[in-house]
Amino acid sequence: MTSLIAGPAGREGRPFGTVLAAMVTPFTSAGEVDLGATAALAVRLASQGNDGLVLNGTTGESPTTSDAEKVAIIRTVVEAVGDRITIVAGVGTYDTAHSVRLAKEAQKAGAHGTLVVTPYYSRPQQEGLLAHFAAVADATDLPVMLYDIPPRSIVAIAPETLLRLAEHPRITAVKDAKGDFLAGSQVIANSDLAYYAGDDPLTLPWMSIGAVGVVSIISHVVGPHVRALVNAAEAGDYARARTIHEALLPAHLAMSRTGGGAGLVFAKTALRLAGFEVGDPRLPQIPATHDQTAQIARDLEEIGNLT
């Protein structure tokens, strides 16, 4: 399979770039999507080491934003930075027909690619996963990044299934939040699928076995550090990459402060601490408490400048 090139940041073997922020969705104080802040945040992230953005994912609060809001977010970000970096739209749901509709709308809105998560809750068989992902990939001309995250979806995408999906001309990448390095190594060695770390703390180990980058939450506030880590690993300078990885440990710890895998709460809190207001999350997620915010601030203060 030949990898497609998606958007201005894409290049052969790295179809979506190498550092993609899983972007939060800014809300007003009234809880409405703030499109002005959305555009400004996209510009900010594009200037701080990210060469791609993933919109309408878990960190973007996709479970609580409407289809119309999702489309408006894509259009806003494409207009703001789509000529500079790759824009990937999250379109996966547990309903194949709904996912197909979202993919078509994402293409109309100008997205450069789609992120399709394993159907959650319904727990399909592997043949069901094949049919689901193929249906979404067939719905548009956009390259697809599969999102393998069994902690949320229960069902993992088996290596054999990933190898079969790699035969599809538009399925070009995997965002891995499974952390199975043996399974990932099998797929990397036997396909052209580009692997992206889906958990920030595992960026370096994933790149050491052939991944091309990361879909990152911490790059909302330490983008230059994440960029430097990925560049060092890509260049084979693992001594420098490990130094940066260790420097980022406080950020990984900070992201755990709000529990429940709520990286979006960390990201919104960290942006607020950095002076960029993106509003509170929608329920059932809740803002960081005063104590959590203070601890996140202390964690982030431990991260020094790049040398």
87 near 81, Cβ under 8 Å?
Answer: yes
- Which two structure tokens, joined as six digits, stand for 34? 């703030």
CA distances from 226 to 7, 139, 222, 230 (A): 21, 33, 6, 6
Facing residues of 216 across strands?
21
Give residue 297's Cα distance to chain centre: 23
What residues act catalytically? 147, 175
59 near 264, Cβ under 8 Å?
Answer: yes
Between CA 146 and CA 171 the distance in angstroms is: 7
H or E element: which one contains 80? Answer: helix 67-81
H or E element: which one contains 280? Answer: none
Between CA 288 and CA 11 the distance in angstroms is: 38
Pairing of strands 19-22, 52-55: parallel
CA end-to-end distance (rounded Å), the chain: 40
How are the residues of the chain apportioned to helix, strand and coil, as percentages rounded to the nearest 5?
Answer: 45, 15, 40
Question: Strand, helix or coil at 20?
Answer: strand
Question: Strand, helix or coil at 259?
Answer: coil
114 near 81, Cβ under 8 Å?
Answer: no
